[in-house]
Chains A and B, each alone.
Chain A
């Protein structure tokens, strides 16, 4: 009973006279005393406003106070949360037709797995991780899914599955020697005094042939491209060749002439270049 007085959670909701539903999420890990307060502001007559509390759909009879100060109506509900039975949604209602509603959702901390599937290959090993922001679960457990049933992992202790965790707020499942049967969704459960929370990670196991086939297809395409380009060039060269034979001889002579001409021009331009700037 001592642990009950250590944690005291306060939560307040403000409601105006409008038809809105106000909600608040409260994260609880350990047993604690919880005090939920709703404030209702209206210009009308406060004494005629009917105040009720409900847990889920069940009307709550006691444990709540009603107080009016000025134009604000306060109501407060206290609950000692010991185990998962006290968790859930608590709502305060104002008015005969229960128009104004404020809801407190008492929940255990959420667990984050991974949203994107993890891609791995046959024979690899992989580490699946789950963690929560600021929580200290009592225990973590892992489940794999067979059909629609969750099967616990690690019950027969073997080398294939290793469950560990560096910090209390995270857990990791290492799977070695992956095969295609290991594909699927894995669930991690965090056990708190006040209930359980779960996250999931999806694992996809591919065989090496999958990217290899794509690789082979692209390499074949490149080889084809290169062949086409080179063949096209040989073809266009061949088309030129018959008429070139006669020209080549002339070009050889022309070349000699060109070189001589160039050398003469070189000398000329060097001489000229030294006299102009532009």
Chain B
């Protein structure tokens, strides 16, 4: 087998982008649109909404905490078999859910089984994508991640249509068939052998060396902080607007506007990340700082025009930081250790994501409005971006040294966590 010295930066890589696009859609688009089913579950099982929403929470938690497993398996067997197995598990979970007779049944089938399937698909795919690109890595990642935003637009009405025509059991059956396309996406992930692969060793060795790599650890901490503040507007914006006297329909519409500017931000930032020389970490710091500042400005804006402008800006900057976040990791740990690195980062930063929303809600309950929540979220983001300054080569103006030979030397001491899509996914 030939080991390539450089990632191909194109060619079959674009098929991997396509695969990653559909995978983001099928994993996070489905998760985000699942709220449509919850109304049906509340009626069908006669359980309160809080208990039903645990289904999604368990699914997300399993997906994030299971990421290292997916990564380790991909390092050993290559991404293709792992992702295809993940697709089968995800579809199987939905299939079993269509026979559910109780809420616990759904926790296990959708939450645990489908969640495990998702854990085996998403992280390995993005890591594989990072291996296929170096010069155009940010753009490729940005394009792939647009799948999340676009699918949320498409899946919510689609799921509602399915529910209207097949009731929730039939609809779950068809969502299962839809999720099976993850297997087809996995088939597209042709294994790629890069020069540094034999040097970095198996998954166990990689994880150990990653955990001793100081920049990797700092990066993980930065991402966790960023993740804590990142979700707050998505979760609380509508409620904040309602507090200010907005009607539900314009508030929901504003959220859609934010989603569109998020999409634009992702692609623009992806392109920018590749076009600007120097470490990508600087761009990440730029976007993170901007997002933090915007969040801190939210309580100050009272007029509708100010809020709309802030929301559009927030959408753009928060979308912009996602592809760049993924691109920093290969520069820090090298493409050889990317699977394990990505998995570890996803797992740790998910703690931030899990804590962020309840913390914000708690602050709101204690203070009576969302001012404290937004300011704290902004602070977390700024703190995270502050830590990014400490990453190696931050102040260099030369091109980033992501050549395989250099990574081979660094391979034993640095594993940089990539800002996981966890940042962007709710």
Footprint of B on A, CB under 8 Å? 116, 119-121, 206, 210-212, 214-215, 218-219, 222, 225-226, 229-230, 233, 251, 255, 258-259, 262, 265-266, 269-270, 273, 278
Contacts and interface: CB of A to CB of B under 8 A. Distances in A.
A225 B174 CA distance: 17
B188 interface: yes
A202 B398 CA distance: 70
Contact of A121 (B84, B169, B184, B408): B169
B3 A255 contact: yes
A258 B195 contact: yes
A230 B408 contact: no
Contacts of B178: 218
Contacts of A116: 164
A277 to B, nearest CB: 8
The A contact surface, by secondary structure, is helix
A219 B166 contact: no
Nearest to A227: B187
Contacts of A226: 84, 183-184, 187
A266 B410 CA distance: 9
Nearest to A222: B180
Interface string B402-413: 000110110000
B405 A265 contact: yes
Contact of B398 (A206, A211, A273, A278): A278
B164 A210 contact: no
A211 B198 CA distance: 48
Interface centre among B165, B393, B397 (most CB of A within 10 A): B165
A262 B404 CA distance: 9
Contacts of A119: 164-167, 170
A270 B409 contact: yes
Contacts of A212: 173
A210 B409 contact: no
A262 B195 contact: yes
Interface string B219-250: 00000000000000000000000000000000
B364 interface: no
Contacts of B180: 218-219, 222
B190 interface: yes
22 contacts: A116-B164, A119-B164, A119-B166, A206-B167, A211-B169, A211-B170, A211-B171, A211-B173, A214-B173, A218-B174, A218-B177, A226-B187, A229-B184, A229-B187, A229-B188, A233-B190, A258-B5, A262-B405, A269-B405, A269-B409, A278-B393, A278-B398
B39 interface: no
Contacts of B50: none
Nearest to B87: A222
A215 B177 contact: yes
Contacts of A262: 195, 199, 405, 408
A35 B3 CA distance: 94
A206 B162 CA distance: 14
Contact of A215 (B5, B164, B176, B187): B176
A210 B190 contact: no
Contacts of A222: 177, 180-181, 183-184
Given A251-B2, A258-B195, A211 B166 contact: yes
B154 interface: no
B396 interface: yes
Given A206-B167, A211-B171, 13 more contacts: A119-B166, A119-B167, A120-B167, A206-B170, A211-B170, A214-B177, A215-B173, A215-B174, A218-B178, A255-B3, A266-B408, A278-B393, A278-B398
